[in-house]
Amino acid sequence: MNLPDLSPKAAEIANCAQGLLATKGYNGFSYADISEAVHISKASIHHHFPSKAELVQTVLRRYREQGREGLAALAKQVADPLARIRAYTGYWETCIRDETAPFCICAMLGSELPAIPKEVADEVRGHFSDLATWLAGVLKDGAAQGTFKLRSDAQSEAMALMATVHGGMLAARVYGDPAAFANVVQQGVEQLLTPKARR
């Protein structure tokens, strides 16, 4: 996927939009919110991004690319499948605890799918497809090594684990307690482990 080169101001607008998406979702923010935060007129925002859908699509393309790069780096740096899963969930645990990224923007937008533009929805679905494919690969590796006992096919297990991670984000937000994320996710990962791996 070729990402557009953004000017410094366009990148600032996109970064602001990403933060708003994580807290308010697609329909919860407007160009007026960005205008106030970035100190730029709404007309200038429209110059960089003629429509809100185009802005959010750009944000999601960058988000997906960063995610793919991060997962690829993790695969290279961490050989053990369980350690890889824990590094992935640990990333989110840190983001939730220090509030740098308290909620996956694609999880937020996923709940709005019927009410968001198709080009945005396509990027959201693409993100989940990317993540499920990566998780399935890790789970297959772990099953081959005797670390994970899969109850069904790797893709289905990956989707279940993905739902657990995003459910943990929701629990942390609902209860205002970052530890809720760790508790939910730890139980989900434990269920995948073979008795040998639990020791």
- Over the stretch 5-26, which tens digit does the pLDDT of each residue have? 899 999 999 999 999 999 899 9
Could you tell me if 59 and 6 are in contact, meaning their C-beta atoms sit under 8 angstroms apart?
A: no
What is the model's pLDDT at position 182? 95
Q: Does the pLDDT of residue 162 top 70, yes or no? A: yes
- What percentage of the chain exceeds 70 in pLDDT? 97
Q: Does the pLDDT of residue 95 top 60, yes or no? A: yes
176-181: long-range contacts, CB 8 A cutoff, minimum separation 24? 178/93, 178/96, 178/97, 181/92, 181/93, 181/96
Do the domain assignments include residue 4? Answer: no
Q: Does the pLDDT of residue 199 top 80, yes or no? A: no
- Give the mean model confidence (pLDDT) for residues 126-150: 96
What is the model's pLDDT at position 183? 95
Range of the domain at 110: 57-198
State the Cα–Cα distance between residues 118 and 72, nearest whole angstrom: 28
Do the domain assignments include residue 12? Answer: no
Do the domain assignments include residue 147? Answer: yes
What is the model's pLDDT at position 2? 58
Domain CATH for 84: 1.10.357.10
Do the domain assignments include residue 30? Answer: no
Do the domain assignments include residue 146? Answer: yes
Report which of 50, 55, 20, 56 is spatially closest to residue 37, judged by C-alpha positions: 20
What is the model's pLDDT at position 83? 96
Query: Does residue 10 sit in helix, strand or coil?
Result: helix
What is the model's pLDDT at position 140? 97
- Provide the number of structural domains found in the chain: 1
Could you tell me if 136 and 158 are in contact, meaning their C-beta atoms sit under 8 angstroms apart?
A: yes
Do the domain assignments include residue 136? Answer: yes
Q: Does the pLDDT of residue 189 top 60, yes or no? A: yes
Do the domain assignments include residue 193? Answer: yes
Do the domain assignments include residue 35? Answer: no
Count helices and strands in the chain by DSSP H and E runs: 10, 0
What is the model's pLDDT at position 99? 86
pLDDT tier for residue 196 given thresholds of 50, 70 and 90: confident
Query: Does residue 176 sit in helix, strand or coil?
Result: coil
Query: What one-character DSSP code corresponds to residue 129?
Result: H
Q: Does the pLDDT of residue 1 top 60, yes or no? A: no
- What does pTM read for this prediction? 0.91
Q: Does the pLDDT of residue 64 top 60, yes or no? A: yes
What is the model's pLDDT at position 51? 97
- Give the mean model confidence (pLDDT) for residues 111-135: 96
